[in-house]
């Protein structure tokens, strides 16, 4: 452990003083806010200068920020891409300027020679983990499922949907009866869930909710309660992220399961950059983070407390 600590600090010291531009999507969710906080903390601990840009959910703002980072001659760019398509030109410009780009948490459809590496989870797998939990929990019962999708065109919305459908394939007793975007926000999660409840016999015909992130699940839980039903019991709730509020909901019996996504994407990104700056080391094209399932059986009250100290 001591040797490992020494190795980390030596690498971090090598990266000291470099300037990194970070094009963040916005602040749509608790998870996103934690990722921003942790990226700033990680940069500070390593002595890096971070230029932060909040795109307010707009790809054109991200493209403008990247062009401005290139013009400033930063030493690297972190990009959390709001949607998957439309990045080729600006990534090519960064490449021509010899500025390494690291993707954080979301994927792009561009060729992988346009970026140094991508840090993130296997987003299809996350959906599969959530779906498998539901399949196992429901057994042979008929189950009408409603789905709250993330931002349209974003890789987590595309892949979490796909993974969940993979898990449900062959289990004909489970059917996704309604599926709509809630844009990864609490407010839209609540609003869309209200419309689902209304359309499904006041919610009595819904057996489970699958939300592509915890914030939409938290909004939907509120809508379920306002409809006079018990979330977690009348309607099962499974989502993705592992934010403190979802653990609190699980501790209260109002949510059933979440698949954790670490908000610390910057740590592995900065490690990869430090090695690259040192001697040109090329990292693997995908640095995968863990996707762990948590349920009500996993001490949600304790997990809530633990997460409060993790940058949330
Ligand atoms: O890209 C990761 C997703 O973006 C998180 O699951 C969600 O909360 C965020 O908005």
184: Cβ below 6 Å to ligand 1? yes
- Looking at residue 309, what is its pLDDT? 80
* Phi, psi of 72, deg, nearest 5: -75, -15
Contact 16, 243 (CB under 8 A): no
Q: Tens digits of per-residue pLDDT, 184-219?
A: 999 999 999 999 999 999 999 999 999 999 999 999
Q: Tens digits of per-residue pLDDT, 12-48?
A: 445 668 999 999 999 999 999 999 999 999 999 999 9
Contact 40, 54 (CB under 8 A): no
Nearest protein Cα to ligand 1, atom 7: 213
How large is the ipTM?
Answer: 0.99
Structure token digits, residue 242: 């592992």
Side-by-side strand order, sheet with 143-149: 174-181, 143-149, 208-211, 236-241, 257-260, 293-295
DSSP string, 116-179: SEEEE--HHHHHHHHHHHHHHHHTTS-EEEEEEE-STT-HHHHHHHHHHHHHHTT-TTEEEEEE
What b/e sequence results for 231-249 when a residue is b if at least 16 CB atoms lie within 10 Å of its CB, and e otherwise?
Answer: bbeebbbbbbbbbbbbbbb
- Report the alpha-carbon distance of residue 300 to residue 295 in Å, rounded: 8
pTM: 0.94
Query: For residue 246, which of 270, 269, 225, 222 has the smallest C-alpha distance?
Result: 222
Contact 47, 17 (CB under 8 A): yes
Q: Tens digits of per-residue pLDDT, 55-91?
A: 999 999 999 999 999 999 999 999 999 999 999 999 9
Residue 28 CA, closest ligand 1 atom number: 10
Residue in this structure with the two tokens 């100290």, named with its chain if needed = 309
Residue 215 CA, closest ligand 1 atom number: 8
Best substitution site from 30, 35, 55, 105 to test ligand 1's pocket, by max atoms within 8 Å of Cβ? 105
Q: Average of pLDDT values for 173-177?
A: 98
User: Torsion-angle region of residue 12: left (phi > 0), alpha (psi -120 to 50) or beta?
Assistant: alpha
Collapsing DSSP to helix, strand or coil, 102 comes out as strand
- Report the alpha-carbon distance of residue 90 to residue 60 in Å, rounded: 11
156: Cβ below 6 Å to ligand 1? yes
Q: Tens digits of per-residue pLDDT, 299-309?
A: 999 999 999 88
Structure token digits, residue 198: 């209304």
């Amino acid at each position: 452990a001591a040797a490992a600590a020494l190795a980390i600090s030596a690498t971090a010291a090598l990266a000291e003083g470099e300037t990194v531009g970070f094009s963040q999507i916005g602040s749509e969710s608790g998870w996103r806010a934690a990722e921003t906080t942790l990226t700033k903390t990680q940069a500070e601990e390593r002595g890096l200068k971070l230029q932060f840009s909040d795109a307010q959910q707009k790809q054109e703002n991200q493209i403008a920020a990247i062009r401005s980072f290139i013009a400033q001659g930063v030493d690297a760019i972190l990009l959390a891409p709001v949607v998957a398509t439309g990045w080729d030109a600006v990534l090519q410009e960064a490449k021509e300027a010899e500025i390494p780009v690291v993707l954080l948490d979301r994927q792009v459809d561009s060729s992988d020679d346009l970026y140094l590496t991508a840090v993130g989870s296997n987003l299809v797998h996350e959906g599969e983990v959530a779906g498998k939990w539901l399949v196992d929990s429901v057994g042979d019962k008929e189950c009408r499922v409603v789905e709250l999708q993330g931002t349209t065109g974003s890789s987590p919305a595309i892949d979490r949907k796909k993974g969940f459908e993979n898990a449900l394939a062959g289990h004909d007793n489970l059917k996704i009866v309604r599926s709509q975007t809630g844009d990864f926000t609490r407010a839209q999660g609540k609003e869309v869930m209200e419309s689902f409840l209304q359309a499904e016999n006041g919610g009595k015909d819904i057996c489970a909710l699958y939300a592509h992130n915890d914030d939409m699940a938290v909004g939907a839980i509120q809508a379920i309660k306002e409809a006079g039903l018990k979330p977690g019991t009348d309607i099962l709730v499974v989502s993705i992220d592992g934010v403190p509020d979802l653990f609190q909901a699980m501790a209260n019996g109002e949510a059933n399961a979440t698949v954790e996504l670490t908000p610390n994407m910057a740590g592995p990104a900065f490690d990869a950059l430090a090695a690259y700056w040192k001697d040109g080391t090329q990292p693997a094209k995908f640095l995968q983070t863990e996707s762990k399932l948590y349920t009500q059986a996993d001490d949600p009250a304790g997990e809530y407390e633990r997460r409060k100290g993790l940058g949330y």
